[in-house]
Chains A and B, each alone.
Chain A
């Protein structure tokens, strides 16, 4: 059975021995691999071959991992289902006929189907955690600055981080150990993570842990998702954790803020695809602007055009203060809300996705409804925090993920707590 998890299958050998000896890793197709094409799920880049490796790829190879291919994704990471890929949709191995989530859907599907031991995804607004939840695997979105983005094709650089997916928390932690830490080629990386030992934190000890449950992130959730989530909380309580309700009023405007910021950054980042240095040529007949616009009409899919245009609109004269500046205020508010919550609780828990996996083709027609499905994941990116999604159980429509969010650079706490469930 093929789930169309890979855009390109390849065997990239390790460069050294290390803790990932014998481990096979699938890499999302927006992470550069020297000599192996990297398409971002876009027709624009269908024959683009990077001349260098992303830092995370170098580190995986140096840790002993074998890379088995480049995984399918929503075009440039823009989607929640992996259906906006120019290379066709990926099917969910854990819920056939349904989407694997997105945008790192190929990475999650490869892990769920056993086609790789682990995978890398990128998470701008939930793109590691959503597919991890829908496919019944573990996904980690690291604190902003823990993992180098050098060689990751940018969508919204103030929000995104590369993160691991694996069947177990321990497996994901081992990959995070390999890729975390400072990189001179990414000025936003920090010293934290330099000599990490996340694997040893996967001991499942939640005795004395205080788990906050934000009421706002439960209100909109599907009833069956909620029941599965509550059962997982019971499990944590039986193992010694305590839970309490908390309130995060700022999350009510997080989706709006996220999309304004992400689209604005995308409209700038994707300006590089001009059909001259790489990508589809727009021809040589007209002037530069005509040729440029022609290349982009042909090379980009509908969702990418939608986001570039809305981002351009939000940044254009007369609208900048109304949209972009207010979105930055909303972002600061979210960050403040989380900081206050972590004064009384160790971690926050919610369903990763408020709904079970969509049926293939179900949700493509209404972009706004699709954006609203990201309600529980985007606040984490706005606040630059770490989060983990672990399998919480299943409804008859597919797997449900439980998301744990922690203070900045407290990945160990999340890994310890998450490993009590998976």
Chain B
């Protein structure tokens, strides 16, 4: 399994993580080995999966929640009681 630097840059852009050139080089080298190790999953036999899971619901009722001030207290920047983000497009 080999991975080239274009693939690393592509995955990084999908994941919204900028990388510098050194990181691209390092990850290109490491990902080949790690993905090759993951390939041994090809040998796993078919196993019947027991589905014993049930959804857990709660009533849709108004409950106490964080105040607007508390919800905003960790934001790097806010404006008029809103989170401030960069432009979307």
Contact = CB atoms under 8 A, between A and B. Distances in A.
Most buried by A among B18, B19, B83: B18
B47 to A, nearest CB: 4
A150 to B, nearest CB: 13
A326 B40 CA distance: 10
Given A283-B86, A329-B47, A367-B30, A296 B16 contact: yes
B76 A267 contact: no
Contacts of B81: none
Interface in A273-323: 274-294, 296-297, 300, 302, 305-306, 308-310, 312-314, 316, 323
Given A187-B56, A329-B47, A288 B41 contact: no
A168 B34 CA distance: 38
Contacts of B40: 252-253, 256
A3 interface: no
A333 interface: yes
Interface string B27-70: 10011011101101111111111100000101000000010001
Contacts of A316: 11, 14
Interface stretch (A8-16, A17-25, A44-52, A195-203): A44-52
A336 B87 contact: no
A297 B19 CA distance: 6
Contacts of A184: 58
A380 interface: no
Nearest to B57: A187
Nearest to B33: A368
A297 B17 contact: yes
Nearest to A333: B47
B15 A276 contact: no
Contacts of B56: 187-188
A371 B56 CA distance: 34
Contacts of B11: 309, 312-313, 316
A5 interface: no
B89 to A, nearest CB: 6
B38 A308 contact: no
B41 A330 contact: yes
Interface in A42-82: 47-49, 51-52
B77 interface: yes
A275 B34 contact: no
Contacts of B45: 333
Nearest to A289: B16
B38 A256 contact: yes
A277 B75 contact: yes
Nearest to B3: A313
Contacts of A283: 86
Contacts of A289: 16
Interface in A241-288: 252-253, 256-257, 259-260, 267, 271, 274-288
Given A310-B34, A367-B30, A368-B34, A287 B88 contact: yes
Nearest to A48: B74
Contacts of A288: 85-89
A277 B58 CA distance: 26
A332 interface: yes
B23 A302 contact: yes
B27 A306 contact: yes
Contact of B86 (A287, A332, A333): A287
A278 B74 contact: yes
B47 A292 contact: no
A327 interface: yes
Contacts of A329: 41, 44, 46-47, 49
10 contacts: A259-B34, A259-B38, A284-B84, A284-B86, A287-B86, A287-B87, A309-B11, A329-B41, A332-B48, A368-B34
Interface of A: 47-49, 51-52, 184, 187-188, 252-253, 256-257, 259-260, 267, 271, 274-294, 296-297, 300, 302, 305-306, 308-310, 312-314, 316, 323, 326-330, 332-333, 336, 367-368, 371
Given A288-B86, A310-B35, 15 more contacts: A51-B66, A256-B40, A274-B85, A276-B75, A278-B74, A278-B75, A278-B76, A281-B76, A288-B87, A293-B18, A306-B27, A309-B17, A329-B44, A329-B49, A332-B49
